[in-house]
């Protein structure tokens, strides 16, 4: 049976500490039990991808109810930085949103404005829908609570994003800088070379920006060894692998081991 996650209930609580937050990536499977499965395995959060997965908003609407039932904090990586993607995901009940390819402080401020209600931002108001659990209540209290609850993860995955990392981290409302390691390595001209000096130097720039402005620092990791090394290097949001790769790895290891011992029988047809 899986271990228990850190005793933190919300993403807002998680971004307030530099303790390890360990979750996983959902890019393929969206079944009613998925939140409970992740919870029982000890996951602190789920990162649900809409950028590369093909998940649409109809799927997201179901997925967030599954996660809500399991009390599994969920970050939704929306398809773009456009207002209608950010606000719609939040209206459907996303506790946190992740934005791809953030390259400047101006973009970061626009993202915050899209995600937050007045007076902080300009998010359109729709009440008694999914994000407030369909419940009545005082309007100003609802807006204040939503602004406090909503967490924003800015992906740094370009050369420009690295150059602007300190200014992005300084934006009030940005809670975590998240390394998009494949895209960043490609932008730097060293695609897939995660030990290359240029890549490591870029990571250090972003790490220092997070430390200076007291922001969380996150990345997807393929295995335990990488996650351990990155936590020691300053990352605190560790997204361990993903649904497709966990299943493939476990199946490959199990079937491979069985084939080693289940040899063809002599005389069998």
Selecting among 36, 52, 114, 131, the annotated active-site residue is 52
Q: What CA–CA distance (Å, rounded) separates 249 from 148?
A: 39
* Per-residue b or e along 13-35, where b marks 16 or more CB atoms closer than 10 Å to that residue's CB: ebbeebebbbbbbbbeebeeebb
SS (H, E, C) 174-231: CCEEEECHHHHHHHCCCCCCCCCHHHHHHHHHHHHHHHHHCCEEEEEECCHHHHHHHH
Cα-based distances in Å from 124 to 25, 82, 121? 29, 14, 9
In the residue annotation, 131 being an active-site residue is answered as no
Of 121, 131, 73, whose CA–CA distance to 98 is shortest? 73
Tokens of 223: 């295995």
Q: Are residues 189 and 196 in contact, defined by beta-carbon separation less than 8 angstroms?
A: no
CB 81 within 8 Å of CB 60: no
Rounded Cα–Cα distance for residues 166 and 186 (Å): 21
- Could you identify the residue written with the tokens 């939503």? 146
Residues annotated as catalytic (active site), given as ranges: 52
């Amino acid at each position: 049976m899986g271990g228990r996650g850190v005793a933190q209930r919300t993403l807002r609580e998680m971004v307030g500490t530099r303790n390890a937050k360990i979750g996983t990536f959902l890019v393929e499977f969206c079944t009613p039990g998925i939140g409970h499965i992740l919870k029982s395995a000890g996951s602190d959060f789920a990162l649900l991808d809409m950028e590369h997965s093909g998940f649409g908003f109809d799927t997201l609407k179901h997925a967030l109810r599954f996660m809500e039932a399991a009390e599994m904090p969920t970050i939704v990586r929306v398809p773009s930085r456009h207002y209608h993607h950010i606000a719609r995901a939040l209206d459907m009940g996303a506790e946190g949103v992740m934005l791809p390819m953030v390259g400047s402080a101006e973009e970061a401020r626009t993202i915050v404005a899209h995600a937050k209600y007045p007076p902080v931002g300009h998010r359109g108001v729709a009440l008694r829908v999914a994000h407030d659990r369909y419940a009545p209540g005082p309007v100003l209290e609802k807006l204040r609570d939503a602004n406090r609850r909503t967490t924003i993860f800015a992906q740094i995955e370009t050369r420009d994003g690295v150059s602007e990392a300190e200014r992005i981290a300084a934006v009030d409302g940005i809670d975590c800088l998240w390394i998009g390691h494949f895209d960043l390595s490609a932008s730097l001209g060293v695609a897939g070379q995660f030990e290359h000096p240029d890549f490591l130097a870029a990571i250090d720039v972003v790490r220092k920006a997070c430390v200076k402005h007291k922001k969380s620092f996150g990345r997807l990791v393929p295995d335990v060894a990488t996650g351990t090394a990155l936590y020691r290097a300053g990352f605190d949001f560790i997204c361990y692998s993903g649904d497709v790769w966990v299943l493939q790895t476990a199946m490959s290891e199990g079937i491979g081991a069985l084939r080693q011992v289940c040899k063809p029988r002599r005389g069998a047809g």
